[in-house]
């Protein structure tokens, strides 16, 4: 069903889901700095980034987002890019004028930290932002996004966003739906995909660099 790269991406998402499912302690604030932007360009694919605070021990991070006129958040995993933590979003649809987002992190002690909610205007040109901070854009061709939902029965593409670049979704209960080449979705059970050896996260690197050489068999996302 999956190519080798998709399989690696899926395994990483599975580990990330497990990290956020185990019992955790909530903490105020966030372990990531500089993630607030005022504008997002309406093009493929917006990228929100921040730097880790000194002394922080982040095991996983997720970027939650939604069109401002929608009620339900979706999320994408954040990955390491040098000294930054980066999350890539689907392209906003033309009618989406504002995006609300926040960052959630979990450390090695399973403490979850959450940033404030930020609202960014969707603009067509950089100068429309009038000198304010603009989100970056993904430098590659296809980000191979797997998008998580926070409510059951969510659509494959987040409302207010294009489906281009999305290769799969994760439901709140851990069900993974892979977007096949024919554009149809097929549900894959979390446990049958990775087996019991990954039930507790099993030492999988959750914040691996995005552009890495693919191993012969999946050992890290």
Check whether 193 has a pLDDT greater than 80: no
What 3-state DSSP class applies to 127? helix
Max mean pLDDT range (54-63, 65-74, 188-197): 65-74
Name the one residue in this structure whose structure tokens are 């599975």.
14
DSSP structure string for 156-221? SSPTTB--TTEEEEE-TTS-EEEE-TTS-EEEE-HHHHH-GGGTT-TT--TT-BSS-PPPSS-S--
User: Are the C-beta atoms of 175 and 193 separated by less than 8 Å?
Assistant: no
Q: What is the pLDDT of residues 111-126, one digit of tens each?
A: 888 999 999 999 999 9
Query: What confidence score (pLDDT) does residue 17 get?
Result: 53
Of all residues in the chain, the percent with pLDDT exceeding 70 is 65
User: Are the C-beta atoms of 49 and 79 separated by less than 8 Å?
Assistant: no
| Cα–Cα distance, 9 to 41 (Å, whole number) | 26
Average pLDDT on 63-72 reads: 97
Lowest average pLDDT, out of 8-12, 72-76, 160-164, goes to 8-12
Check whether 26 has a pLDDT greater than 50: yes
* Domains, the chain, ordered by start: 4-198 (2.60.40.10)
Check whether 156 has a pLDDT greater than 50: yes
Which of the pair, 47 or 52, is modelled with greater confidence?
Answer: 47
Average pLDDT on 8-33 reads: 56
């Amino acid at each position: 069903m999956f190519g080798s790269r998709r399989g690696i991406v899926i395994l990483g998402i599975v580990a990330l889901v497990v990290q956020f499912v185990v019992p955790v302690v909530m903490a105020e604030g966030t372990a990531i700095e500089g993630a607030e932007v005022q504008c997002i360009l309406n093009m493929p694919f917006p990228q929100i980034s921040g730097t880790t605070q000194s002394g922080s021990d982040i095991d996983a991070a997720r970027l939650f987002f939604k069109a401002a006129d929608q009620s339900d958040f979706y999320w994408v995993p954040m990955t390491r890019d040098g000294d930054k933590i980066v999350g890539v979003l689907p392209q906003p649809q033309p009618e989406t004028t504002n995006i609300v987002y926040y960052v959630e992190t979990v450390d090695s002690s399973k403490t979850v930290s959450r940033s404030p909610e930020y609202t960014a205007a969707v603009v067509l040109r950089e100068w429309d932002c009038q000198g304010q901070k603009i989100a970056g854009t993904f430098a590659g061709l296809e980000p191979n996004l797997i998008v998580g939902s926070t409510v059951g029965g969510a659509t494959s593409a987040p409302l207010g966003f294009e489906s281009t670049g999305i290769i799969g979704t994760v439901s709140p209960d851990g069900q993974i739906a892979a977007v096949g080449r024919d554009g149809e979705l097929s549900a894959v059970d979390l446990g049958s995909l990775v087996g019991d050896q990954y039930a507790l996260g099993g030492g999988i690197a959750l914040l691996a660099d995005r552009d890495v050489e693919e191993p012969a068999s999946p050992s890290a996302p």
